[in-house]
Amino acid sequence: MTFARLDQINDLDTLPRMPAWVTSARPETLEDVAFLSGAALNHLHLVLGHDEVPQALLRDRLALRAAEACVAFSGRPERAGELRDAVYLLRPGDLPGPAGETCLAWRRAVERPLSIKALGRALPSVEPGQIAAWLDVGKGAPVTRAAMVLEAVLRVAPRADVAALILADAALAQALGRDHVVPLLALCLKRADLRKQGDDVRLACHRALVSSVVEAVRLAADLAQRAAHLKAVAPKLRAKGAGEAIEMFLTRDAVAPSALPLPDRAARRLCDRLVDLGAVRELTGRDTFRLYGV
């Protein structure tokens, strides 16, 4: 690693840190919790403004965590490892199953710029007009808008937890002026919170956001460090197509060797080389059907 690259990685320590008072306070009133969630969201905005943070990778990994939470809400046993298998080892013509569908919905919701069309791709069973109508329900401040959308969707479709949470995060992103959905609400809302109404659901959303932003900021800092290291070792890779492979690792939660733009054997060698260099990790612990990620 060159000294320039090492300095670049060390500079990531300058990413703004969450003020301790945001997480140490124990507020009870809606007004106090709203103040803290606003401070947390502002801090996240500052972190996401740093070029070192791999935005697409962060969104994809948060999408996996949101999907894991939604699957748990439904009472299913699948966790991150099974969700990765259901999505990244999917072959043409295969069905991903209910848990896999949830993971695909979240991944599709975050991978393209926020629009009704992009949300319709994530939620193909919901008419675009209905998506637009639900998003228009949200009024007022960002978190209030998100809570109103969450409540409106679940009032009409009580079992549509995934659609409700995706659209609530979309409403939040719209209100904050973001061009992509960043999964936040699903990470820390409880299942019982989804059945609340009015001020109760707003309070639950504010509280969840304080916790989920802390998680998102920590993940952003970690991925920024890992992405910088991956870029630093990239010049050591001589395989044809290695540059495109690096870009895939920088934008996806997980990558199967078969998805890389190299012959099978060369792809496996590249993955093993990146593991040896400490630039990516093998995520499954298996000897076959492996998946790799930053």
Say if CB 183 and CB 63 are below 8 A apart.
Answer: yes
Chain centre distance of CA 71: 15
The predicted-structure confidence for 26-57, as pLDDT tens digits, reads as follows 777 999 999 999 999 999 999 999 999 999 99
pLDDT confidence of residue 14: 66
Say if CB 1 and CB 231 are below 8 A apart.
Answer: no
The predicted-structure confidence for 94-103, as pLDDT tens digits, reads as follows 899 999 999 9
Q: How far apart are CA 94 and CA 75, in angstroms?
A: 23
Percent helix, strand and coil across the chain, each to the nearest 5: 65, 0, 30
Which tokens sit at 98?
């209910």
Phi-psi region of 97 (alpha: psi -120 to 50; beta: other; left: phi over 0): left
pLDDT confidence of residue 187: 97
* Consecutive H or E run containing 164: helix 161-175
What residues form DSSP beta bridges with 282?
292
The pLDDT profile of the chain, 294 residues, written as one tens digit per residue, is 333 343 444 445 668 888 888 888 777 799 999 999 999 999 999 999 999 999 999 999 999 999 999 999 999 999 999 999 999 999 888 899 999 999 999 999 999 999 999 999 999 999 999 999 999 998 899 999 999 999 999 999 999 999 999 999 999 999 999 999 999 999 999 999 999 999 999 999 999 999 999 999 999 999 999 999 999 999 999 888 999 999 999 999 999 999 999 999 999 999 999 999 999 999 999 999 999 999
Residue 255 DSSP label? B
pLDDT confidence of residue 209: 98
Which pTM was predicted? 0.93
pLDDT confidence of residue 28: 77
Closest to 67 in 3D by CA, of 146, 195, 165: 165
Say if CB 171 and CB 135 are below 8 A apart.
Answer: yes
